[in-house]
Amino acid sequence: GAGVSQSPSNKVTEKGKDVELRCDPISGHTALYWYRQSLGQGLEFLIYFQGNSAPDKSGLPSDRFSAERTGGSVSTLTIQRTQQEDSAVYLCASSLSGGAVSTDTQYFGPGTRLTVL
Amino acid sequence: GDSVTQMEGPVTLSEEAFLTINCTYTATGYPSLFWYVQYPGEGLQLLLKATKADDKGSNKGFEATYRKETTSFHLEKGSVQVSDSAVYFCALSDRQGAQKLVFGQGTRLTINP
């Protein structure tokens, strides 16, 4: 079946602009995660959605970052007033049950490479 | 907080060599442990996992054993192939709450024919 998809695959923007990154999880997966992969910081957790519960935003690096998940499916990560340090690959992952099952596997999308000039 | 430490890379080996990539972790609870692999131009894929002490995860000839006493999850393969060239990430997830993954810094492996 279809895996996790993300769009766009590449995004180049100017410092100070807002960007939106999209994630389509695997159908039927209730848990959705965003991570960031950058040269300086490695792979970092950003935010987690599970069903209708309040999201876990503990990994968001600043209030310029926000995310929403509509209808329990598609998620959008928004970065406002982008800075050069936001340049990274943003990865989305989904799992069947998330926190409800301790052994769930997270399946990753191909990522969006964001470059802030 | 929880953390994962991997051996420094890059690692370069000849085909059919024995591979070990060290991974140790620090966690307050009893995490699940994972190895993810990222092949050139592709996304992260789960390679293997272990969910409790003394469990052995295995896949594609790779193995790793969950060692609680040494807080380690070293990745091994007896005979590597050129196609194993990739970046390998060790990770843990807490059994509580979001079970977000905490990753090591990654080890780039290159296998020469």
Q: What are the tens digits of pLDDT across the range A2-58?
A: 899 999 999 999 999 999 999 999 998 989 999 999 987 789 999 999 888 889 999
Which among B42, B51, B89 has CB closest to A43? B89
List, in sequence order, the alpha helices (H) in chain B.
none
pLDDT-derived band of residue B8, with 50, 70 and 90 as boundaries?
Answer: confident
Question: pLDDT at position A100, please?
Answer: 52
A102 with B43: Cβ contact below 8 A: no
Nearest Cα of chain B lies from the Cα of A12 at a distance, in angstroms, of 19
Q: How far apart are CA B55 and CA B49, in angstroms?
A: 9
Cβ neighbors of A4 (< 8 A, separation 6 or more) are: A23, A24, A25, A26, A92, A93, A94, A107, A108, A109
pLDDT-derived band of residue B97, with 50, 70 and 90 as boundaries?
Answer: low
Q: How far apart are CA B21 and CA B44, in angstroms?
A: 17
The per-residue pLDDT of chain B, averaged, comes to 93
Report DSSP state, residue A28.
T
pLDDT-derived band of residue A102, with 50, 70 and 90 as boundaries?
Answer: low
Residue with tokens 């709450």: B97
- Greatest CA separation found in chain B? 45
Which among B42, B51, B91 has CB closest to A102? B51
Report DSSP state, residue A80.
-
Residue of chain A whose Cα is closest to the Cα of B106: A42
Q: For chain A, what percentages of helix, strand and coil (3-state, to nearest 5) are there? A: 5, 50, 45
The answer on pLDDT for B49 being more than 90 is: yes
Cβ neighbors of A40 (< 8 A, separation 6 or more) are: none
Residue with tokens 């843990």: B92
Q: Which H helix or E strand runs over A47?
A: strand A42-50
Whether chain A has a CB inside 8 Å of the CB on B11: the answer is no
Query: Best mutation site among A108, A112, A113 for testing chain B: the one with the most B CBs within 10 Å?
Result: A108
CA angle B13, B19, B23 (to 5 degrees): 120
Cβ neighbors of B40 (< 8 A, separation 6 or more) are: B85, B86
pLDDT-derived band of residue B56, with 50, 70 and 90 as boundaries?
Answer: very high
Question: pLDDT at position A108, please?
Answer: 94
